[in-house]
Chains A and B, each alone.
Chain A
């Protein structure tokens, strides 16, 4: 009877309130055994996106370099700082630039938030591209990860779009002329080019309508699409069997262990499987499907690695934001482009190319390159060389890819250091 009295006693309820609330939120204590480790991974909302067990190869820093994670964490930093900046920003040609000055002069933490947002944006462009390079150079786009590669290329383009639309918002000289040039490049696209240009600018010239449009794209449309695509990207990683790894990372079980001797064609055990009963049960009795296990529990191995990458990313951005101020040029002067008018560094390769031909440099060559990226996994179908950096089996594919990348790097360097007033060739020394 005393037990029942405890349950209904208001005094006991109040006394146990904090503990009960805590336990209702966090259903598991800190795990001490494998069952609890797996339970923690799949009952926690924020952790259940992870597998219970993760392959050792996926945790090798030298394999992934953490580039995808860094890109994602930079996106998180961008969302947080971006939402905070929205409290003070007005997308109006008469106010935007003054609001930038306010952020620098009067808003608490205004400077560092803008710095963090700008450097994270630059970092995200760089990291997403390096992540793309990593996936290519390790042959990770191959079956069954073809579609996730396509999603990744879309994410890369969306990242460039985010960065491009963000550039207009300060309404300074760089912003205005970068957008003037950028929308003009869109106008060179065949058939629908002029319509796209008109829709982007909301008129026939870059002005208030264009600023408002780019603002809406930057803070609502593109982030929503980007978030959705990231969700699909992560989900596909799980469904495609985790991160890619070399074929010899999963030893095939010997035939007598397959357990289906009557079947002339024994079913190959799924090498993509990342966890199973045998992972949770220890001891000598679990012989069924018992293959050498190269996986470890996500708690704590994967989560600590992710926490480490997050802290390193945030620290790097904080240090950069404290050391370097985000550039802000003169307010817009629609009559005088700066001379030379240079785009941000990652678009300088493009700018160098359009200085030869607007169509080929701005639409043709980038279009062919992006098109090739999209269909790469459907052209290169050989299963060899997956999961190794610079595999000998992938010499041709890797050489072509690196040539494209180097060509762009050379164009970026020329555009950055060797172009002076009127885009004339100058030497930096």
Chain B
């Protein structure tokens, strides 16, 4: 029952050897498979959360006097290390850039307990598998006199806030 579809295009006619039944079969099959694949993919849309319940990325960490000159104080819950040198302040991430463990303070800077990455006091990689330096976060003095850290904004290493 093969029906040769004749398609006229401009000057001549092109003959396509596809029966109507076969053509409809292809369309139906593609439609069914396509909607199956789309339905499967929509599961990933479903499990991708639109709202997450994390910690706020922007927070205040107290008055400048809480951080005496020459100290390096880690705020473990915030995963930052606040560095104060004289009147200059900075916030360095303590989340290891390798696989997300928390680096601890060491004699030479920072060291990661999970896979042995080492960083100097500025967060530059000095050894181990870490692919890049620990990021520095934007740090500002709010009008009420408290220090505010914004972990969503990274700044170049060495950019201190001068009080």
Residues of the B chain whose Cβ atoms lie less than 8 Å from the Cβ of A337: 101-102, 113-114
User: Would you call the interface of chain B mostly helix, strand, loop, or mixed?
Assistant: loop
- Cβ-based interface call for A326 (8 A): no
Give CA–CA (A335, B102) in the complex, Å: 7
Give CA–CA (A183, B99) in the complex, Å: 8
| A-B CB pair tally, cutoff 8 Å | 87
8 A Cβ contacts from B90-137 to A: 98-102, 104, 106, 111-116, 118, 128-129, 131
Given contacts A180-B99, A181-B100, contact A422 B129 (CB under 8 A): no
Give CA–CA (A357, B125) in the complex, Å: 13
- Cβ-based interface call for A424 (8 A): yes
Interface size of A by CB at 8 A reads 37
Chain A 195-206, CB-CB to B under 8 Å as 1, else 0, gives 100110011110
Looking at the assembled complex, report how far the CB atom of B123 sits from the nearest CB atom of chain A, in whole angstroms: 16
- Cβ-based interface call for B54 (8 A): yes
Given contacts A336-B76, A358-B131, contact A185 B54 (CB under 8 A): no
Question: Which chain A residue lies CB-closest to B112?
Answer: A422
A199 touches B48 (CB 8 A): yes
- Cβ-based interface call for B77 (8 A): yes
- Cβ-based interface call for B47 (8 A): yes
8 A Cβ contacts from A48-95 to B: none
B49 touches A202 (CB 8 A): yes
Interface size of B by CB at 8 A reads 27
Given contacts A180-B100, A185-B99, A356-B129, contact A203 B115 (CB under 8 A): no
Give CA–CA (A351, B118) in the complex, Å: 17
With a 10 A CB-CB cut-off, give which of A180, A361, A422 has the most chain B CB atoms.
A422
Question: Which chain B residue lies CB-closest to A343?
Answer: B114
Partner of B113, one of A184, A199, A209, A338: A338
Looking at the assembled complex, report how far the CB atom of A335 sits from the nearest CB atom of chain B, in whole angstroms: 3
Residues of the A chain whose Cβ atoms lie less than 8 Å from the Cβ of B100: 180-181, 183-184
B113 touches A340 (CB 8 A): yes
Partner of B101, one of A181, A195, A202: A181
Give CA–CA (A335, B49) in the complex, Å: 25
Please name 20 pairs of A and B residues whose Cβ atoms are closer than 8 Å in the assembled complex, sorted by A: A177-B101, A177-B114, A180-B100, A180-B101, A205-B55, A208-B53, A335-B102, A336-B76, A337-B101, A337-B114, A339-B104, A354-B115, A354-B129, A355-B128, A362-B99, A422-B106, A422-B113, A422-B118, A423-B114, A423-B115
The 4 closest A-B pairs by CB, nearest first: A423-B116, A335-B76, A339-B113, A203-B52
Residues of B within 8 A of A (CB): 44, 47-49, 52-55, 76-77, 98-102, 104, 106, 111-116, 118, 128-129, 131
Residues of A within 8 A of B (CB): 177, 180-181, 183-185, 195, 198-199, 202-205, 207-209, 213, 334-341, 351, 354-358, 361-362, 421-424
